[in-house]
Structure 1
Amino acid sequence: MTKLLLSIHVLAAILVVGPIAVAASLFPRYGRQAVSAGPEPDARAGGIAALLHRICRGYAVVGVAVPVFGIATALQLGVLTDAWLLTSLALTALASALLALAILPGQQRLLAPAGSGGGSGGGAPESTAARLSMLTGIFNLLWAIVVVLMIVRPGSTTGA
């Protein structure tokens, strides 16, 4: 059962977090192009930005499976109270909060002028896009740290 849970956890992490990381990283470029095209919005860039936002939003919902299966695996392995796992859970919660409370709303704000034909969308498009780039970088860095913790597992008896 542990191998099945671990396999589902790893597959979910790869197939869910990976697309969010890529889509969120690409979004600022296309979001900026969509709203900074002068008097006429760039419809192609706007469509791409909207698709990238839908990917982030949709995969974020499915992404709940990653920590759920991770916790189930940790329970099976008896490592739920290990410091490396608790740190990973805290970083995962932080990355999830960053996505839900800052990245997705920021993407929505940047898309608002493209879809409504004008307006500020909650800030200048350049500053919103720059902020999204920074937040996405932090989000991706948090996940990279979690991956390293999952592989290295400080205190592990496997010798890895």
Structure 2
Amino acid sequence: MMTTIFIFLHVLTAILFLGPVTVATSSFHVRALEAHEGNTRSGSVAKLLHRITNTYGMLSMLVPILGVAIMFTNTDYWSMGNFHAAIGFSVVAWALLIFLIIPRQRQMVGVLGLLDPEEVEGRSFEVKDWKTAKSQLSMFGGIFALLWVIILLLMFL
């Protein structure tokens, strides 16, 4: 019974948190570049997408935590390498989000002047080449999404 509850929560958190953060990471860079080029509406959208990436990214950590909890409810899962690989890939995806995607988004939003005052204190923001920054975020967002597709496939093996 506990396994079923944890699997339900695991899938639910994946849908609720990974879906939005994946869409936000794949859309942010386009809107940020448009905002840099003068589109004020895109600036508001970029700010919102950054908040979604940040907030839902942190909440998405519940997905691998619940995945590990599932493994503790049924000892058969400990012998299945695909689950270990999925957890490893989720750690890589989360590290990519925390250490590469979110900081680069924050830089772009900071340069656009769209961060809240408490987020700006004592920090300077600079983007040397907006097209390169856009390309890098596109690449990292694509890798992030691909990792979650691989993880999904591993869950069904």
For structure 1, the 5+ residue unaligned runs are: 153-160
| 8 Å Cα contact 1:12/1:65 also seen in 2 | yes
TM-score (norm 2): 0.88
Question: CA–CA distance in 1 between the matches of 2:64 and 2:138?
Answer: 25
* Contact 2:61–2:94, Cα closer than 8 Å, also in 1: no
> 107-116 or 12-21, which moves further after superposition?
107-116
Could you tell me the percent identity over the aligned residues? 33
Q: 2:73 aligns with which of 65, 73, 76?
A: 76
Q: 1:76 to 1:128 in 2, by over 3 A?
A: same
- The structure with more helix, counted as a fraction of residues: 2
Q: For each residue in 1:48-89, what CA deviation from the matched residue of structure 2 results, as whole angstroms up to 9, or x when unmatched?
A: 000000001001121121111111111112213421111111
CA RMSD of aligned residues (A): 1.5
Corresponding position of 2:52 = 55
Structure 2 letter corresponding to 1:123: K
Given the two structures, how large is their TM-score scaled by the length of structure 1? 0.86
Moved more, 107-116 or 88-97: 107-116
Corresponding residue for 1:114? 112
* Structure 1 residue runs of 4 or more that deviate by more than 3 Å after TM superposition: none
Unpaired stretches in structure 2, ≥5 consecutive residues: 115-123
The CA distance in 1 between the partners of 2:99 and 2:144, in whole Å, is 12
Instruction: Report SS of the residue matched to 2:126.
Output: coil
User: How many equivalent pairs are there?
Assistant: 146
Residues 1-160 of structure 1 aligned to structure 2 (within 5 Å): 1-35=2-36, 37=37, 41-78=38-75, 79-115=77-113, 121-152=126-157
- In the alignment, the residues of structure 2 paired with residue 19 and residue 10 of structure 1 have an alpha-carbon distance, to the nearest angstrom, of 14
Letter of the aligned partner of 1:88 in structure 2? A
Deviation at 1:17, TM superposition (A): 0.5
Work out whether residues 34 and 46 of structure 1, in 8 Å CA contact, stay in contact via their aligned partners in 2: yes
d(CA) in 2 for partners of 1:58 and 1:123?
26
